Amino acid sequence: MDEVVGLFPIPLQRSRAVLPRPLVDALVAHFSAAAVRDNNASTQLSHTAMLRPGDSPLLVEAAARITPKLAEFGALLFGEALGWGLKEMWVNVLDTGGRQAMHNHANSFVSGVVYLTPTHPESRTVFMKSPGGTEFVFRNDHAGTTPGAYNADKWVSPLPDPGDMVLFPSYLMHAVPPNVGARRITLSFNAIPTRLDSWGYAVTFNG
């Protein structure tokens, strides 16, 4: 009998209805107008300033609901239940025609996205293999191949509902294709553990 083992997989956690609809609507109403910082990838994409949970009672409530999920996900990454802190949060407003270029997040360990408005099926978050990996240089890539977990370059996340969240390692590359639907608003964040210990070499992080 044959067995295929997926070696060293990258976890991505999808959590449904993390934020209740009244909180989602309040975040949209409060922060949409504050997203005035342009993004050089697209003129139809703007952000708020970097925020901390203490900057708004709405963010305090959101952080209280997000943090337990961070602890669950962090245990998958580091093999231990650790304390976690939200380092920064920001709201993205992606108007029709806008896109988010491929990127990852520096100076953090876990990143996440909470979807605040409906997402058009063609504008779902896409996660990609990091360029310059350790794979074969010559690919088998043509119309007759069948993409799968071991040969695909990208993975398109499931269609989210408002209040849904995804968590992923901050190094994971991701992007948003051109938005062909209505305005798409998300709450993004970066998180760090309170402490990491590598056989006595311990580092404590301040959020």
Confidence at residue 92, expressed as pLDDT on a 0 to 100 scale: 97
Res 131 pLDDT > 80:
no
Mean pLDDT of 121-127: 97
Least confident of 17-26, 73-82, 146-155: 146-155
Question: Residue 124: inside a domain, yes or no?
Answer: yes
Question: Residue 139: inside a domain, yes or no?
Answer: no
Task: Kindly report the CATH number assigned to the domain that includes residue 89.
Answer: 2.60.120.620
Domains of the chain: total: 1
Mean pLDDT of 118-143: 86
Res 24 pLDDT > 80:
yes
Question: Residue 200: inside a domain, yes or no?
Answer: no
| Domain extent at residue 73 | 13-131+150-194
Question: Residue 202: inside a domain, yes or no?
Answer: no
Res 136 pLDDT > 80:
no
Question: Residue 42: inside a domain, yes or no?
Answer: yes
Name the band, by pLDDT with cuts 50, 70 and 90, for residue 133. low
DSSP the chain: -------SPPP-EEETT-S-HHHHHHHHHHHGGG--EEETTEEEEEEPPPB-GGG-HHHHHHHHHHHHHHHHHHHHHHSS---EEEEEEEEEEE-TT--EEEE--SS-SEEEEEE-S---GGG--EEEPPSS-SS-SS---STT----TTT-SEEEPPPPPTT-EEEEETTSEEEE----SS-EEEEEEEEEESEEEETTEEEE---
Confidence at residue 41, expressed as pLDDT on a 0 to 100 scale: 79
Question: Residue 78: inside a domain, yes or no?
Answer: yes
Question: Residue 87: inside a domain, yes or no?
Answer: yes
Question: Residue 52: inside a domain, yes or no?
Answer: yes
